[in-house]
Amino acid sequence: MTARRVYGAAPFNVPGEFIGIDFSPDSKHLWAALSTGEYSHSHVVSFDVASGNAVKQHKANGHLRVVHALPGNEVLVGGWGIIHRLSAKGSVVWTLEDGQHLRLAGMSADRSRFVTIEDNVAQVRDVEGHAVVHKLKEMEGDLYAVAFSADGAWLATGSSKGVVRLFDARTGKAQAKRKSTRVLALAFSPSGGHLLVGHGNGKVELWDLPTLKPVKPFVGRHEFGKGRGPAGCRWVGFSADGTRAYSLGNEGQVRTWSVPDGDDGPTLKVPSRHLQGPVTVLSPDGRWLASGSTQGALSVWSMEDLAPIAGAAAPSPILGLALTPDTVVAASNKAFVSWDLGSGARNEVEANFPPTDVKALSSGTLVRLDHSSIYVEKSLSESSPEAFELVSYASGPLALSRDETRIAAPAQERAQVWVLKRSLLHADLVHKERVQACAFGPEDAWLATADDALHLWRLGKKPELIRDIALDGGGHVEGLAVSPRGWIAVSMIEIDRDDADSWLLLVDPRSGETLCRLDRPDAVLGQVFFAGDTRVVVADSLGRLLHVDATDPANARWLEPVPEDASATSLVKKARPIARLGDTVAHVGPDGSVVVETLKDGPRDKGAPFLLDAAPKQRSGKNVLAQKPEGLFEKRLEGARFLFGGRFRDATPAFREGLLKELGASVAARPDAQVTHLVLGNGAAASVASGLKAKGATFAELSERHFMELLLPTTAEALAMLRNEVKDGRARWNSWRKRYLDAQGERFPVPLQGVDLAGLKLGAYRLQVLDFTEARLQGVDFTKADLTDTVFRGADLREAKFTRASCYRAVFSGAKLRGARFDGADVTWNRFDGADLRDVDFSGAKMLSVDFRGADLTGAKMPGNAKESKYDEKTRWPKGYKP
């Protein structure tokens, strides 16, 4: 491997998750408490502020969360129920252990005294031997904040019920009290004349000392943004000269205020890789500000100009990676970041909500996952429209087909296959358990999916299950890959992560046989790929690429030997993603940066690919999937007999019995030999199944969710009802939809993409949260229909009538709507991006926050009350109209 390049590397970083930080008394070092994935031990690391390099690292017992630096390179570290004083060499000077609620909460400026809190009791202790000097009890709420004045004369406490008390720190006697709202942070001014108070409601106040009276007009506030409410104030502090006050809110902004006037000053944004309200500290000399609480690099700024003293680090944790010919892209909980491979130029786009992932086509097009939304874009952009939405939020990484036309996505108990260019759902594969990974087989002829077993699906016009394969070891799947010929590699980890036990399985898809298991106790294995057919490459938690010689899959071996004394006691137990484009591979390095290097393919297997054309006899595995019977209405479940055991959230008797009767099935009150389906809810006794077997019954076992799936109408049934081709079609449709909508209908989609309902009157049908992507709906009358969250992406809706319809949050992206009418319709939060809206009549519509980016509205009639519409340079407006 050559040409190794690193992106997002930064100083003030070592492997692990930073939890607590503090500057040394001379401001030359920054100490950090570091979690490395173990609960019994933690690490404490010291960085040189001038260079950002780690200079000391100690290990200590307990899950440590707080660090306070002492003179002489000693530190005080604390977790729940335990506090250590460590010497400059890392040895324990003394240990204080008490109840689990005990925590280290504050330190005097001269580092001679510290405060512990246990619920509503604060104890001032001597650093030398942790002897209690004063015991202070708060009668109104638990204690959330403490602070010493610079000269050590005062001590302030703040409680959950908003009570702030001022004590003489030398005698422990109360001097003043003030009641306000919940207090999260306190700080004394250098002169001791003011107290800065940060509240849970985002308010920041300056109080006079010793009276505790608010100083007017100083009132600061932290907010999440317009209409999103207050952001709690997590930290406060003063500049060295006392003329500026600082505060950090949950929105991730460090705000500055003049003292005593409270005028706004410059604002500093904490990088998104930090947790909300990260631990923050000012250096004693007032020159530096640092924020922690991150799996990535610490952030350090110069307080002279609020400029960072190091470059931007990679986001953290990195959940997905992608490589294009020009960029490498990383996805994390809070952001997507790309770097130019040549110049290193950085671009960042905010993520909405985890989970996230990103894949790239060889053309450079990105496919980006943000919770349940999929974006297809030429480069990272906040203005990119959603291409389509998964049925639920993702439960594993995306998988790209070999021809790059389709994407497979784990979506809880489903694996969905989508056609990228058309945003069309190709397959919706139902599983018993949460799907963790997907991978396409050779020539995209089949798909491998993994929940707690491995499943192989033939991807024809109508996808079908080939076989289920039990997975050796029963762990969690982190990576899944298929070689060019068809060998399957699965990386797995223990579900209980007290240790890092991981293993790699090599599976023959033709027989379902596990050919080889390779254990790896020294690291957590992450995502995996084949370099040719004879080499497997796995990203691990230590930032390495591990290689497996799979020339003979039954006798595969690690090329990097496993240490004989391998131990997981100092590991960051996080599985890592991987990306590949040609001979270039990207992975996460030991410090959380992105490493890009060259890796050549191994030899290709010259044998014919395993296309699995013929349907072999099904081999039972650990997880056998329920298949939906064919047929229509009364014939579909004719002869089926259901027995229910346990408690059901959605499939209540009122829900299920009418539908089962309608579909020709019967319900058993107790076990008998005629039962064909056993549906188990929460708390179902294990004896139910054995009792049925004793009766001689042959039955399928279903979860509540799979039972709900079984009763969904097929496409043919849905069309028959919507076209009113069966008796009481509309009433039957609405009765069925009401049952499912009441039971969270969006979780149970009906396959209606591409259907033909042109010219029908559908206004009286329940159509909420349905997907009509690419459906033929020309001239359909939707008068008074409720179309909330309904998707018409790419549909043909020319001349459709939406009179007085509720179109709240409906998606019309790329749809053909020429000549459609929206008289009196509620058009709020709709997407018409890329739609053909020529000659559409919106004149009588109620319109708010509509997305018209890329839409053609030539000749359209617009309402006079349109507000907050989105548009771009591609939007074509009616003549004379100005948004």
Please, what is the angle between helix 653-662 and helix 729-742, to 10°? 150
Extended beta strands in 324-440, E state: 327-332, 335-340, 346-350, 356-360, 366-370, 373-377, 388-389, 399-400, 406-411, 414-419, 424-430, 437-440
Determine the pLDDT at residue 601: 85
CA dihedral 792, 763, 652, 789 (to 10 degrees): 30
Domain co-membership, 152 together with 262: yes
Residues in Cβ contact with 552 at an 8 Å cutoff, skipping those fewer than 6 apart: none
Answer yes or no: do 93 and 149 share one domain.
no
Residue 157 sits in the same domain as residue 112? no
Say what the pLDDT of residue 472 is.
85
- Residue whose entry in the numeric block shows the structure tokens 């991730």: 252
Question: What is the phi/psi pair of residue 709, to 5°?
Answer: -65, -40
Q: Are 538 and 484 members of one domain?
A: yes
Structural domain span for residue 595: 471-604
Which residues, 6+ apart, have CB-to-CB distance to 528 below 8 Å?
A: 479, 480, 481, 489, 490, 491, 504, 536, 537, 538, 539, 578
| End position of a domain, from candidates 214, 236, 269 | 269
CATH number, position 234: 2.130.10.10
The verdict on 83 and 151 lying in the same domain is: no
Token readout for 449 is 């999916």
The H or E element that residue 323 is part of is: strand 318-323
Say how far apart CA 650 and CA 742 lie, in whole Å: 8
For residue 531, the tally of other CB atoms under 10 A from its CB is 21
Tell me how far apart the alpha carbons of residues 315 and 274 are, in angstroms, rounded to a whole number.
9
Q: Are strands 143-148 and 132-137 parallel, antiparallel or unpaired?
A: unpaired
Q: Report yes or no: 3 and 597 within 8 Å, Cβ to Cβ.
A: yes
Starting at the edge strand found earlier in the chain, the sheet holding 5-7 runs 5-7, 594-598, 584-588, 578-581
Cα 5 from chain centroid? 28
Tokens at 493, concatenated: 């980890």
- Identify the CA nearest to 105 among candidates 87, 128, 123: 123
Chain centroid to Cα 79, Å, comes to: 27
Residue 132 lies in a domain: yes
**Backbone phi, then psi, for 729, in 5-degree steps?**
-60, -45
* Domain closes at, from 137, 157, 190: 137
Output DSSP code: residue 313: P
Least Cα distance to 122 among 96, 89, 92, 156 occurs for 156
Sign of CA dihedral 718, 722, 723, 729: positive
Q: Report yes or no on 547 lying in a domain.
A: yes
CB 831 within 8 A of CB 386: yes
Confirm if 492 and 476 have CB atoms less than 8 A apart.
yes
61 and 118 together in one domain: yes
* Alpha-carbon distances, residue 652 vs 179, 644, 692 (angstroms): 51, 10, 22
Same-domain pairing of 503 and 571: yes
Residue ending a domain, choose from 120, 137, 154: 137
Q: Are 428 and 442 in contact (CB under 8 A)?
A: no
What CATH number does the domain containing 501 carry?
2.120.10.30
Consecutive H or E run containing 433: none
User: Is position 78 within any domain?
Assistant: yes
Q: Which residues of 253-279 are buried (b: 16+ CB within 10 A; e: fewer)?
A: bbbbbebbebeeeeebebbbbbbebbb
Binning the chain into helix, strand and coil, the percentages to the nearest 5 are: 5, 40, 55
Judgement on whether residues 510 and 585 belong to the same structural domain of the protein:
yes
What is the C-alpha to C-alpha distance for residues 389 and 371, in angstroms, rounded to an integer?
9
| Rounded CA separation 191/153 (Å) | 11
d(CA 233, CA 338) in angstroms, rounded, equals 31
| 202 and 182 inside one domain | yes
Please give the Cα distance from 611 to 621 (Å, whole number): 21
Structural domain includes residue 565? yes
SS (H, E, C) 793-814: CCCECCCCECCCCECCCCECCC
What tokens does 282 get?
């000012």
Residues 96 and 191 in one domain: no
Closest CA to 553 of 534, 527, 539: 534
Q: In the numeric block, which tokens belong to residue 718?
A: 């849905």
Are residue 50 and residue 127 in the same domain, yes or no? yes
Q: Which residues of 318-356 are buried (b: 16+ CB within 10 A; e: fewer)?
A: bbbbbbbeebbbbbbbbbbbbbebeeeeeebbebeebbb
Give, in order, the Cα–Cα distances in Å from 274 to each of 330, 575, 694: 16, 19, 58
Tell whether the torsion through CA atoms of 220, 226, 231 and 237 is positive or negative.
negative
Nearest one of 73, 178, 203, 54 to 591, comparing CA atoms:
54
Q: Check whether residue 544 and residue 600 sit in a common domain.
A: yes
Tell me if 58 sits within 8 A of 73, measured CB to CB: no
Determine how β-strand 5-7 pairs with β-strand 244-249. unpaired
Q: Determine whether 524 is exposed, middle or buried from the number of CB atoms within 10 Å of its CB (0-12, 13-18, 19+).
A: buried
Among the listed residues 751, 794, 797, 800, the one whose alpha carbon sits nearest the alpha carbon of residue 774: 794
Residues 6+ apart with CB under 8 A from 163: 138, 140, 141, 177, 178, 179, 180, 183
Assess if residue 778 is contained within a domain. Answer: no
Instruction: Report if residue 774 sits inside a domain.
Output: no
> Is omega for the bond preceding 629 within 30 degrees of 0, making it cis?
no
**Structural domain total, the chain:** 3
- Over the chain (883 residues), the average pLDDT of each successive run of 10 is 80 88 96 81 92 92 92 94 94 90 93 96 95 95 96 96 96 95 97 96 96 94 84 95 95 94 92 85 95 87 89 90 97 94 94 94 97 95 90 94 97 94 90 94 97 94 91 90 97 75 94 95 92 94 93 94 61 80 94 92 85 59 39 76 92 87 90 94 87 92 88 89 90 90 77 93 95 95 96 96 97 96 96 96 94 94 84 91 82
* DSSP code for 781: B
- Domain for residue 592, yes or no? yes
d(CA 259, CA 273) in angstroms, rounded, equals 31
**Are 143 and 167 within 8 A, CB to CB?**
no
Q: Give the integer Cα–Cα distance in Å for 125 and 147.
A: 14
| 127 within some domain | yes
